[in-house]
Structures are given as C-alpha cells and as structure tokens.
Structure 1
Amino acid sequence: MRVLLKKRVLLVLLLGLITILFLKSDWLAAMMYPVHFKDDIRASASNYGVEPHLVAAIIRSETNYRTGQESRKGALGLMQVMPDTADWVIQKAGFTEVTEDMLKHRADVSIEVGAWYLKSLYKQFDHNKIAAIAAYNAGPGNVRKWLDSGLWDGTIDSVKEIPFGETRHYVQRVIYYYNKYKDLYPSF
C-alpha cells in the first residue's frame, strides 16, 4: 500500500513539475505559437502601418499558416480574403498581376492584400483595432451598422454584445493570439 502511495505522490509531483515547465517555458510556448512567413508579415505590416503581431494573429486564426486554403464561403489564402474584396483591394492599391490562384497559394500575395485591407479597415473605423478585427470577419457594413445603432460600442470589453456569434468568437481568438504573439515575440 505504501509503495502505491509513494508512486502516486511521485506521479503528482512529476505532473506538477511538467505543468510548471509548460506554463513558464518560453521555448515551449514559441513551439506552440509559431509564426511562419515572418519576413513577409514584417514587410507588409511595415508597408501599410499595421502591427505585425496583429497580421500574424489574423493568419493564425484564419488558416493557422496553411497556404492554399479556401473557406466554405469562398475566402482565399492565408488571410482568407473574399475574392470581391481582393479585387477591390487590388484595384485601390494598384497591385498588378495578382490572380485568385496567387492569392490562394502564395503567402506573400495573401499577406500583402490582407495587410492592405486591414489598413483600410483601420482607417474606416478611426484606428479602432477591435472594430477593424470585427470588420475583417463580418464586413465593414455590418460593423458600421452595429456601431451606429448602438448594438456594440467597438470595445474589447463589450465583445459579448457583437450580434454575430462567429464574429464575437473571432475577435476574442484574434486578440488572444495577438497578445500571445506580443508576449512571445516582442521585437517582431
């Protein structure tokens, strides 16, 4: 009986040690929250004045850094931009020779288009990061209606008031990854 008790105590201590290492380990956290395409993210974020941590958080939330993705609704690429939105961005930004296939399969193209669009949303919502994230998911028209009608005030504290459940969870997820990336990669 005592041998069994000692084994249980040792097991509990070992699990406690592993938990402490897991929670306090930056290298383990970096393995769990990697950032791929760092150079492309940095370049596009710098080009358009958006935070690279936020671009990385959106990519993580949208596709977990997998290229070639297409959503059920038709959004394409790493940053899951809808084709109509991509066409609008390409026209407004003056990008040349960008195809849907490039948007879907090339990380650099998807990040460039997505970062430009994010900058546009920042401008539309007076640099309100939370509203821009919500608009990235639900569309700027929906977010504008919510803000104008008082359904939502555009703050992180009132995210639970966002009428679309998908958008509510999306904003929470992006902010979680954004904060995690800022902690893990402060000099991104």
Structure 2
Amino acid sequence: MNQLKRKLIRKRILLPLFLVVLVLVLFNTRWLAWIYPIEFKNEIRAHASAYQVDPFLIASIIRVETNFQPSMESKKGALGVMQLMPDTAQWVMDKAHLNNVSMETVKHDADPNIEIGTWYLGNLMQQFGGNEIAVIAAYNAGPSKVKSWISSGQWDGTLEHAKDIPYGETRHYVQRVLYYYKQYTKLYDAF
C-alpha cells in the first residue's frame, strides 16, 4: 500500500473513533471520577454515618487538606489525612472517649484520623447550627475566630458573602472545599 492509501484508511478509522470518544466524554461525566477520586470510602462512610456528617463534605475536606495522602504533617504541625492539630485531636479523643487511639495512629492511620476529623466536623455542625459554610471556615480558622467574625459583623457566615471572610487563606479554603463538594456530588450518585 502506498502512503496516501494508509493515510486515508487512518482517517476513516481514527476520525470516527475520535468522534465516539468525544461524545462519550462530553455526555458521560463518569470519566471525571478518575480526576476526582475518593479514597478511604469505607472509613468515610462509616464515620459519616456514626457522627451524622455528610460524607461528601468529609471527602472534600480531605481532598483539600492532603489529596488523600496519609501520614502528612503540615508546617504548623497538623497531622494525617484530615490535617488535625494535635491539641484538637487530643480534645476530640477526650470528648469522644476514643481511648484506643494514640497521637501516632492519628498521624499515620487514616481510619482514626478520619474518625476524629468527622467527630470534630459533627461538633462544629452543632456549634454553627448546621451552617456548612461556617463549619468549613471553622475547620480551617478555628471555631472561635469564625464565631468572632460572625458576632462582630465582619462576615455573616454565608457563601454569598464569603468575600468578607477576614483571612484570605480561609476564604480560599472555603471556596476550594465547596468546589470539590460540588464535583463529588455531581459525579457520585451515592457514597
């Protein structure tokens, strides 16, 4: 076969194949699950159910905090997949009576880290009357800071006025968590 014939055959095969792939990509968002995976599904599902927290919120926070990489430690000392500050982790372990969990397991084992982080999110949900936007901000900046912003009128706790969050890091954090939350709830029918 000559060169021209081979090019024609390739075009006849590759163009329709390309169009089929394009249609699948455009009309089926399931392929996006490769870009937005959720790891530790069993652990997230179990703790979300136990502490009445939206599993997609937990997954979104983990994605922003560590992209599902266990054994992470931040420059500020936050530990594990959910980036828990040691004082917060110890407070939760005491309050939730998690006597079988050590700080070493919080740092290296995703399951107790997710349990503590989820319990803490549930506690924040109670503190902020179920306001998920304020909860996300409090997970990043601390509940005392967020309460002071809301009580002083600096921020009203809503997404519409997230631009008023005094800390740029927390503003960006809220936006990123909500971005992943939207992606996850769009891609995954259920957890």
Query: TM-score by structure 2 length?
Result: 0.87
Deviation for aligned residue 1:24: 4.0
Deviations, residues 67-100 of structure 1 (Å, cap 9, x unaligned):
0100110000010010000000000000012112
Share of identical aligned residues, percent? 54
1:173 aligns to what SS in structure 2?
helix
Match of 2:117 among 114, 117, 120: 114
Q: Which amino acid aligns with 1:155?
A: T
Match of 1:36 among 36, 39, 45: 39
RMSD of equivalent CA atoms: 1.8
**Compared CA separation, residues 73 and 15, structure 1 to 2 (3 A):** farther
Alignment-derived partner of residue 167 in structure 1: 170
Q: Give the count of matched residue pairs.
A: 176
Q: Whole-Å Cα distance in 2 between the matches of residues 163 and 110 of structure 1? A: 28
1:54-73 pair list within 5 angstroms: 54-73=57-76
Deviations, residues 116-148 of structure 1 (Å, cap 9, x unaligned):
000000011111000000000000010001000
**Compared CA separation, residues 85 and 19, structure 1 to 2 (3 A):** farther
1:11-160 pair list within 5 angstroms: 22-160=25-163
2:120 aligns to what SS in structure 1?
helix
Q: Which amino acid aligns with 1:30?
A: A
Q: Which amino acid aligns with 2:103?
A: E
**Compared CA separation, residues 17 and 146, structure 1 to 2 (3 A):** farther
Q: Which amino acid aligns with 2:86?
A: P
Q: Which amino acid aligns with 1:47?
A: A
Deviations, residues 165-187 of structure 1 (Å, cap 9, x unaligned):
00000000001111111111121
Q: Whole-Å Cα distance in 2 between the matches of residues 17 and 163 of structure 1? A: 48
